[in-house]
Amino acid sequence: MKPTVIIEYGAGNVFSVAMAVERLGGLAVCTDDAAVVRRAERVILPGVGQAAAAMRRLRARGLDELIPRLEVPVLGICLGMQLMCEHTEEGDTPGLGIFPARVELFRGVPKVPHTGWNALREVRPPLFRGVDEGARVYFTHSYRVPACEWAAALCDYGGFFSAALGRENFWGCQFHPEKSAEVGEQIIRNFLNM
C-alpha cells in the first residue's frame, strides 16, 4: 500500500490522524508539499482551528487550487470538511468549493461547541460500509453543514445536520474518526480501501 498523504498546513492534529492510519497497517506521510500531494494515492485534509487562517495557509502553499483537482480519494476531517465546502460563516470565508454547500454557526442549541459522542443517521457506503445506523462518533465543532443532498451521514443536534459528505472521490467527516474508537477505525479502513 502506498502512503496516505496527510496535509500538514498548521491547522490540524496530524499526529493522531497519522497514528490512526498506521494502526490499521497503512503508511502516513505528513506534508504541505504540493508536489507530494499531487502524486498521492489518497489524501487526508484534517483541520482544527479557524477557517480563514486555515484557508490562508492552504493558499500560501498552492493547495487551494490543487486539492479540488485531485482525482484520488480525499477525506476532509472536521475543519477540513468545512473547508471543502463553498463558503463558511466563520470569518465569512470562501472555501475550496468541492461540495456546493455552506457552513453555518450552530444556533438554537443547548451548547456551542457541540462536543462529545453522538449517533450517526442515514449512513451510506462506501465510507460507512460496515457501520451500523445509530453508531456513535466523537464531535467537537461550533459550525455545521446543514443536511443536504451530499450528506453521507446525518446527526441530530438541535436538528439534523450533515455529519459526513460525499461527492465523487471527495469525502468529509464533521466528526473525528481518529478519536471515534472502533467505529472510526472502520471508517478510516473503508477510506484506505478506496
Residue 32, number of CB atoms within 10 A of its CB: 16
Whether the pTM exceeds 0.95: the reply is yes
Residue 180, number of CB atoms within 10 A of its CB: 22
Please tell me the predicted confidence (pLDDT) of residue 48. 87
Specify the number of domains making up the chain.
1
Catalytic residue annotation: 78, 176, 178
Lowest-confidence segment of 48-57, 72-81, 138-147 by average pLDDT:
48-57
Tens of pLDDT, residue by residue over 136-194, are 999 999 999 999 999 999 999 999 999 999 999 999 999 999 999 999 999 999 999 99
CATH number, residue 146:
3.40.50.880
What region, left, alpha or beta, does residue 52 occupy, with left being phi > 0 and alpha being psi -120 to 50 degrees? alpha
Q: Which domain holds residue 176?
A: 4-192
